[in-house]
Structure 1
Amino acid sequence: MEIRFPIQLKKLRTGLSMSQEDIAGKLYISRQAVSRWESGDATPDMSNLIKLAEIFDCSLDTLVLGTEPKQDNIDDKIDKWWVAIPLVAILGGTIPDIIQAFK
């Protein structure tokens, strides 16, 4: 399995024009610790991973794995509504029933 965290960390950090020192200051750790994370020689604990995700305003999946969150496809939701409305009408349901069915 390819280790993506060091690559993602550096990419996200440089994308915000932050130095290793900037990240270290926000986490109250040494700059050398951030350097070791970026080189793959060490990994942060869970609390620092969470803080990093907050700093970079990204998910843990994005930070650790480099994956982007899936976007909701509005067309899929609209298609579901057009199918549900006639079915509920036939079965005698109401709009609140339809809304509840999709929760």
Structure 2
Amino acid sequence: MMLSSKLRDLRKKHGLSQKELAEKLMTTQAKVASWENGDSVPDISYIAKLTVLYDVSADYLLKDGKQEGQTIEPG
């Protein structure tokens, strides 16, 4: 799963609108929409805030295809 999809899914799972999330992160709704559309990526300070807000790891957000709590077996 791509970062943009994870961000959208987590926001919806937590019952937040883009505007509400933007307010929590002290940013704009347009920026949140841009992340969720895959037009841009959040900088590291927003990644840190998102991990706390959603109680997920940065690895989960940033690694494509990995589910939270899932381990990837070596080769």
Matches within 5 A, 1:51-70: 51-65=49-63, 66-70=66-70
Q: Deviations along 1:42-64, whole A, 9 cap, x unmatched?
A: 11100100101111011112222
What residue in structure 1 maps to residue 42 of structure 2?
Answer: 44
Contact 1:27 / 1:48 at 8 angstroms: preserved in 2? yes
Partner of 2:31, secondary structure, is helix
SS of 1:49's equivalent?
helix
Divergent runs of 4+, >3 A: none
Matches within 5 A, 1:1-103: 4-65=2-63, 66-70=66-70
**Structure 2 length normalisation: TM-score?**
0.82
TM-score using structure 1 length: 0.61
Decide which structure has the larger Cα Rg and report it: 1
Question: Structure 2: which 5+ residue stretches go unaligned?
Answer: none
Relative contact order higher in (CA < 8 Å, ≥ 6 apart): 2
Indicate the percent of aligned positions where both proteins have the same amino acid.
33
Q: State whether residues 61 and 67 of structure 1, in contact with CA within 8 Å, keep that contact through their aligned partners in structure 2.
A: no
